[in-house]
Structure 1
Amino acid sequence: MFSALRVAAQKGNAEAQFILGCISYNGYGVDRNCAEAFKWVRLAADRGDAIAKKRLVEMDANGKK
């Protein structure tokens, strides 16, 4: 599942990018990695994902990048 999600994210799918960011941030099945999470959430936000934009602001405010 993660590999298909990563492929979709790498191809520019904003939803997949946001999900990967959440997985990285929370450490679901992977080591927690805030820098990786910020990268994916930022990419999703740049593609116009409204939830990702909100999460990006929260992560930035909390110093989680």
Structure 2
Amino acid sequence: MDFTDAVWRKSDRSGQGTNGNCVEVAFAGSAVGVRDSKSPATGVLAFPAVQWAFFLRGLGS
């Protein structure tokens, strides 16, 4: 999956500045990418959008 032109977002609750521990999320077609916001060049974990939706639902349980 190509996330080259993806728009990456991170939570408003993530720490500001250089010490923030957070991830960024982007959508590309039917996939969702997750990466470390402090080190985006290290790679992207890609998940099918359906599986991402299951994950988010699980957080609400």
- TM-score when normalising by structure 1: 0.29
- TM-score when normalising by structure 2: 0.30
Larger of the two Rg values belongs to structure? 2
Structure having the higher strand fraction is 2
